[in-house]
Structures are given as structure tokens and as C-alpha cells.
Amino acid sequence: MSNPNEDLLKTIISHAKEYGYVFPSSEVYDGLSAVYDYGQLGSELKNNIRQYWWKAMVQLNENIVGIDAAIFMHPTTWKASGHVDAFNDPLIDNKDSKKRYRADVLVEEHIEKIRVKINKEVEKAAKRFGESFDEKMYCETNPRVQEYQKQIDEINARFKKDLEENNLTDLKTLIEELGIVCPISGSRNWTDVRQFNLMFSTEMGSVAEDSNKIYLRPETAQGIFVNFLNVYKTGRMKIPFGIAQTGKAFRNEIVARQFIFRMREFEQMEMQFFVRPSTEMQWYEKWKNARYQWHLSLGISEKKYRFHDHIKLAHYANAACDIEFAFPMGFKELEGIHSRTDFDLKSHEQYSGKNLKYFDPEINESYVPYVIETSIGLDRMFLAVLSSSYKEEKLADGTERVVLQLPPFLAPVKVAVLPLMKKDGLPEKAEEIMQQLKFDFNLQYDEKDSIGKRYRRQDAIGTPYCITIDHQTLQDNTVTLRERDTMQQERISAKELTGILNKKTSLSEALKKL
């Protein structure tokens, strides 16, 4: 039996391709594994998400500035950051299917299955008890839920120990004892677990003897750390302050089977917030909350988000959590919020021999700042937005439509301009309205097929508004404005269009509500 969630992911992938959102990379050569290209609409949506993040972080916060560092960095950067020695994922192969997996992800998915069982028990009980249901009390007292929770706690404790001690032998034993099978072959015939470094390397310099191994950055954060001094001095920044950046990152992922969720070339949107030592926990809480509010401001259901504290902290962190999202494949990491201590700056001080301290005039002291990082994958955010806005609807007249209920300010095309007929001067009038609107909005013109079919095409790409030009328009300069989600139409004066559409679709209006 096919899994409905997998079916949804497949539907999203084919919809994204059919309508010019996302294509497999170099598809004429049958694609390249875990690399994707954004098409004519996808690149617009991606730009809009990037801009919404950038403006929310940089424009709305006086003490945050943005930079754009290079992808190539001095190779010592990655020694100092710990990536050369420790940027590994544990991999395991199934000998029968020859498929490769991340050992940690296999265990996490097993835990998630138990969690789903708890959720089902809770849902059943909530239905049974109705209004008087007390979820917390139920979870604390119900023997079945307690048993599941005990299983989760025990697995987590052992899993954490294995990861911390790098005990790959026990990690394999854990996978075997939990009875985890390969989803393809159904067998438990596993190889040993091995560590695998995720960084891509290449050589810089034209002559072989000169050549120097350099890495494609696996995260954008280090570009911020090595520019800390430059920005602090030239921007006259005062702690607490932040540096934001968006850009490509590269990881030679072991498993790359989940569309744009896990890619080998992807884009990150990161912000490092520099604070006085010992104040980091309060900033960590502040940024957790601020980032959560940013997500909710998109209008996606709160139920699709949850926090997940890391069970094993990275070598640089003293607190870390993920904002997870209910993707079609289940709840998975969308954004990480990490308290990175002073690890990175201190390490760059050591390796470079440069003083990377901040002089704090308020307390008359120099110190290496502590850092809170917010790090979100742009492509994962794209998938979150796309998958949660995809709807198949049955309409009152018995027909069906596919609609992308994208937040209007993120939609690639804001307005479609549709002359009712291809004659009587209606296309010319439509052209006049296009000229009026094109400086403020991304438009699409369509005169082919019936108006109903044209509405369906716009629904499928998520255009929030359609303007129809008919004979009455020629007489009184009014048009009908159709709203995508309600499908309601109202007649308005063409002169009012810019003002109305701006209120409904502009990024600045969305930012005001943040």
C-alpha cells in the first residue's frame, strides 16, 4: 500500500515541475542527484522568501546588518571551525538493497514512529472526552502512552551516549535491536556504521604545484565570523548586534532522496547575533521566539510547527533547538537556533593570530563575544510554503480545482490580467491596465481559452488576484477583481487597483504585521 504522505510529496514534485517552480538539474542529461534548478516561477517565490527574511532581519532591526561573503574561503577557516575534523555524518548501508542511509536519521525516524503512536492515542482520547480533555494529565497517567514515552526516553538516552562517545559499534547494535529494516529491501542486513565527511573540496590555482585544496563552504556562518572585526569596526557596531547573510552552501549529503529538502547545493539564510558573555541564554530565548513569530506571520497553521531540542549538542554549542515543520514526509528540521558560545571567534583568533575581541565601553572590558545563531534553509522554507499551500478542492458546482494558497506577498505572480474576449478593444484596454500596474506588481497576461480555464491556471500557480476586463470596462473604467481563495469577485474602478493590490500583496504590508 502506498503511503499517502509520500504520494503528497510526489504530487508536489510533479506540480512544481509542471508549472515552472522546480526542475531537476540538467534534466536533459537525466538530472544530477540531489541538485535542482528553480524555474521561472520558483525563482520568484524563492526571491520573495529571501527578501521577506532579509527585510525582517536587517531592515526591521537597527542593530543587524547584512553582508555577502564569498563561497571560497581560506582553507584554514575550516580547520578552525572544526569542519575538517568533525563535520561528519554516520552512514550505514543495507547489504541487500545497496541503499545508503544516515544511521542517526534511521534512529530518529524510529523514535518519530513511536511519537506518532502517542499522538494517535491522544487524538482518540480527545474525541472520547470532548471538552473536558486534559492532554497533559492524560499523557502523565495513561499506561500505554507512558510505555511509549519510556521507550522513547530509553532510546534517546542510548542514542545520545553513542553519538557523544562516537560509539559507532553500539549505534549499529541499537539499529539492530530496534528491528529497523531497510524500507526498500525490508531486510536488517546492515553494514557497520562509518563516519563520512560532508565537505566538497576542489583545487585553487592554475598549475598543479601551486594548487591548494579548498572547500566549498558547508555553511554561510563562517563568512560572518571571519568578517566580524571588519563589520564591527567599519559599521561602528555596538554589542548586542547581528550580521545576516544569505547564500549558497554545499554538503555531500549521504542520503538525498527528499526533493529540495536535502540537497547537495542549497541556500542558507543565517544571522549571527553577538552578545556579552553570560547574557547568551536570554538572547537565545528571544531569538527562538522572534523566529517562531516570523514563521507564524506567514499564515501557515501553528500546528505545522514544533520545537525540538537537540539531544546531542554540536562541539561549539551550549544550547540548540530546531524549529521543525510538518513536511509531507513528516516533522523535520526547518531552522536551527544555536547558542554557539565564543567557540568560533576564539578558534579563529587562535588559528589566525589576530585579535578578534570587542571592546565594550559600557563595562570598560574587552572580550570575545558569545553568539546566538539563527539558521534556516531557504529551499526547505520554499518546500514548507509550497507543500502547505497546495490544495485540491471540490467546488460547489461539482468540478475540482488545484490551488496554491501561497501567502499573497510571496506569490510569484501577484495579478493576472484577463480580457474577457480577444476582440472589441478588450485586449487593448487590458494592455493599458498592464502599463499602469507593471511597475508595482509582477503580472501575467492571458487571453487564451475560456475565463474559467484561465482562472484555474492562475489558481494552480497561486496568483492571488485576477483582473477581468469586459465591455463594461470600456464604458466606465471598472474591472472585476477576483480573489483566489474565496473565488469572490467585486467590481472596482481601475483607478483604485494600485492602492488596493498594494495593501493586499505587498511585502511592506506584511512586514508591518510582524
In this chain, which of 93, 280, 344, 379 binds ligand ATP, going by CB under 6 A? 379
Alpha carbon distance 26, 42 (integer Å): 16
- Closer CB to ligand ATP, 377 or 464, in the complex: 377
Binding mask 380-409 for ligand ATP (x = CB under 6 A): x-----------------------------
Q: How far is the CB of 383 from ligand ATP (least distance, A)?
A: 9
In this chain, which of 94, 220, 268, 387 binds ligand ATP, going by CB under 6 A? 268
Q: How far is the CB of 69 from ligand ATP (least distance, A)?
A: 16
Q: How far is the CB of 271 from ligand ATP (least distance, A)?
A: 12
Q: How far is the CB of 113 from ligand ATP (least distance, A)?
A: 18
In this chain, which of 90, 240, 336, 412 binds ligand ATP, going by CB under 6 A? 336
Q: Who contacts 258 (Cβ-Cβ below 8 Å, separation ≥6)?
A: 9, 329
The answer to whether the beta carbons of residues 160 and 152 sit under 8 Å apart is no
- Which residue sits closest to ligand ATP, CB atoms considered? 377
- Does 106 contact ligand ATP by CB under 6 A? no
What separation in angstroms does the CA of 289 have from each of 142, 264, 295, 396?
A: 32, 30, 10, 41
Q: Residue 370 pairs with which residues in a beta bridge? A: 275
Q: How far is the CB of 501 from ligand ATP (least distance, A)?
A: 32
- Closer CB to ligand ATP, 263 or 271, in the complex: 263
- Closer CB to ligand ATP, 103 or 417, in the complex: 103
Query: Among the candidate windows 186-194, 372-380, 423-431, 505-513, which touches ligand ATP by CB under 6 A?
Result: 372-380
- Does 358 contact ligand ATP by CB under 6 A? no
Query: Among the candidate windows 263-271, 413-421, 422-430, 489-497, which touches ligand ATP by CB under 6 A?
Result: 263-271
Query: Among the candidate windows 67-75, 228-236, 260-268, 422-430, which touches ligand ATP by CB under 6 A?
Result: 260-268
The answer to whether the beta carbons of residues 362 and 350 sit under 8 Å apart is no
Window 240 to 259, contacts with ligand ATP (CB under 6 A) = 251, 253
What are the E-state strand segments in 230-314?
Answer: 241-250, 265-275, 305-309
- Closer CB to ligand ATP, 340 or 429, in the complex: 340
- Does 291 contact ligand ATP by CB under 6 A? no
The answer to whether the beta carbons of residues 430 and 466 sit under 8 Å apart is no
The answer to whether the beta carbons of residues 467 and 505 sit under 8 Å apart is no
- Closer CB to ligand ATP, 172 or 251, in the complex: 251
- Closer CB to ligand ATP, 80 or 334, in the complex: 334
- Does 266 contact ligand ATP by CB under 6 A? yes
- Does 373 contact ligand ATP by CB under 6 A? no
- Does 376 contact ligand ATP by CB under 6 A? yes
The answer to whether the beta carbons of residues 264 and 252 sit under 8 Å apart is yes
Q: How far is the CB of 313 from ligand ATP (least distance, A)?
A: 12
Residue 66 has φ and ψ, to the nearest 5°, of: -115, 150
Q: Who contacts 61 (Cβ-Cβ below 8 Å, separation ≥6)?
A: 242
**Count of residues that interact with ligand ATP, criterion CB under 6 A:** 16
Q: How far is the CB of 277 from ligand ATP (least distance, A)?
A: 23
452 by Cβ neighbours in 10 Å (0-12 / 13-18 / 19+) ranks as exposed
- Does 429 contact ligand ATP by CB under 6 A? no
The answer to whether the beta carbons of residues 297 and 406 sit under 8 Å apart is no
- Closer CB to ligand ATP, 126 or 313, in the complex: 313
- Closer CB to ligand ATP, 256 or 434, in the complex: 256
- Does 340 contact ligand ATP by CB under 6 A? no
- Does 90 contact ligand ATP by CB under 6 A? no
What separation in angstroms does the CA of 243 have from each of 27, 240, 479?
A: 37, 11, 46
Question: Distance from first CA to last CA of the chain, Å, rounded?
Answer: 43
Q: Who contacts 32 (Cβ-Cβ below 8 Å, separation ≥6)?
A: 24, 25, 26
Alpha carbon distance 477, 470 (integer Å): 10
DSSP string computed for 330-357: EEEEEEEEEEEETHHHHHHHHHH-----
The answer to whether the beta carbons of residues 92 and 172 sit under 8 Å apart is yes
- Does 333 contact ligand ATP by CB under 6 A? yes
Alpha carbon distance 244, 376 (integer Å): 12
In this chain, which of 106, 178, 263, 433 binds ligand ATP, going by CB under 6 A? 263
* Sign, CA torsion 52/54/58/61: positive
Q: Who contacts 247 (Cβ-Cβ below 8 Å, separation ≥6)?
A: 68, 69, 71, 220, 223, 267, 268
Note the residues at the interface with ligand ATP (CB under 6 A): 219, 251, 253, 262-263, 266, 268, 333-336, 375-377, 379-380
